[in-house]
Structure 1
Amino acid sequence: MSRTPAKRRRPEARPEEILDAALAVFTENGFAAARVEDIAARAGLSKGAIYLYFSSKDAMLNALVERSAGALASASERLVASGGAADPEAAYRAVLTMILTTMTDQNVSAAPRLVLAEAQRFPELAAHYRAHVIDTGRRTMRALLEAGVAKGVFRPVEAEAAMRAFAGPVIAHMLLTTVFQAEDDPDTDPADMAGAIADIVLNGLKPREGQEI
């Protein structure tokens, strides 16, 4: 009696399968309590096979950060590099829309949320996140501000404050659409929210000339 050949994984697909399994285990058990053997079982691999691709749990979470928030930060930097000089305001709005829309996906925001929860206990995770996400965001915001000032559409401001004014709403949106989401929360389109936030950041809260209060 012949057996049906088992489906063989392509070696190049295994790192992504391991990361998917790690994300599921980290989300269910928390990073500190997660075990490599649990990740291996979820991925359908031996514990030894996991170590062929990742040296530790930390390496897996760092890789998850790089393929989610890190990839998004890099995409934002490329967007600003390609279009920021021509229309800084449009680039600002486009980056904010892209980030809020993408981070609404819980599979994308899961790794950043794990780092936020564990960073104080695992400073090496925080350092990796800073290098691959925060530092990229700082460069991007600095480049965008310089382009806006040069074009006369932004006034000179402190770059670090501007970065925090951008990042704060992103973090709030991520948490309010995942960790703190309630059933009766309004169903807000991320693109609409990005537009509203951009309007407040770019124009402030003070009434505009001729606007009725």
Structure 2
Amino acid sequence: MTPTDPHPPSLAERAVSRRIAGAEQSARAEVDALLDAGLKLMTECAPRPPRVADIVAAAGLSNDAFYRAFSGRDALVEAIVERGARELAGQVRRRMERATGDSAEDRLRAGIAAVVRQAADPRLAAGVRAVLAAAVTPVPHAGHAIVVLVDDLGSLFAGPA
């Protein structure tokens, strides 16, 4: 029901909404399974990139499920890189929120320390190299993920700065 429409949704409309919600939940679970399997195999199989068939099998899905979600392995690589960028920004945000002091300087120090801690982790660095090496093209189209990371970190640091 909206301010311009005083009538509640019909039973049919509610049934459609439930169906769409179920389909979205199922699609999200498939994509998450593909991202998780792709990251795991890319890290374990490095320097040899896994085949799409290997990723699909590890995710317990079909090739059709893979290609409904991604146009190919490079698109999967880009999604894995973007997810990692968003996770990094989330970790930085949490560290800044939990900074011991209330000053802007304390929050900035905590954020910078979180970024440096991530950059200095050899396991994470090896994972990033393995994922990027799994791309079919020499340079994956991961520019979107970089923009997301820079925008997220920029907004986190801009406030206290």
TM-score greater than 0.5 by the shorter chain: yes
| Alignment correspondent of 1:56 | 72
Q: 2:42 aligns with which of 14, 26, 29?
A: 26
Unaligned runs of 5+ in 2: 1-24
Structure 1 unmatched runs, 5+:
1-9, 149-213
Output the amino acid matched with 2:30: R
- 1:79: Cα distance to partner? 7.0
Alignment of 1:5-154 (within 5 A): 11=26, 12-30=28-46, 33-74=49-90, 76=92, 87-99=103-115, 100=117, 104=121, 106=123, 112-114=128-130, 121-125=138-142, 127-141=143-157, 143=158, 147-148=160-161
Name the amino acid aligned to 1:61. V
* Structure 2 residue identity aligned to 1:39: I
Show the counterpart of 1:197: none
**CA distance 1:21–1:32, change in 2 (3 Å):** same
Measured in 2, the distance between the counterparts of 1:63 and 1:51 equals: 14
Counterpart of 2:83, as a letter, is R
**1:135 offset after TM fit, Å?**
4.3
Whole-angstrom CA distance in 1 between matches of 2:132 and 2:140 = 11
Aligned to 1:3: none
1:23 counterpart SS class: helix
Q: Point out which structure has higher relative CO (alpha carbons under 8 A, 6+ apart).
A: 2
Tell me, in whole angstroms, the C-alpha distance in 1 between the residues paired with 2:71 and 2:48.
Answer: 16
The answer to whether the 8 Å contact 2:77/2:132 transfers is no
> Please, what TM-score do these two structures have when normalized by structure 2?
0.58
Instruction: Answer yes or no: is the 8 Å Cα contact 1:69–1:109 preserved in 2.
Output: no
Q: Which amino acid aligns with 2:37?
A: A
User: 2:30 touches 2:65 (CA, 8 Å); kept in 1?
Assistant: no
Query: Number of residue pairs matched?
Result: 132
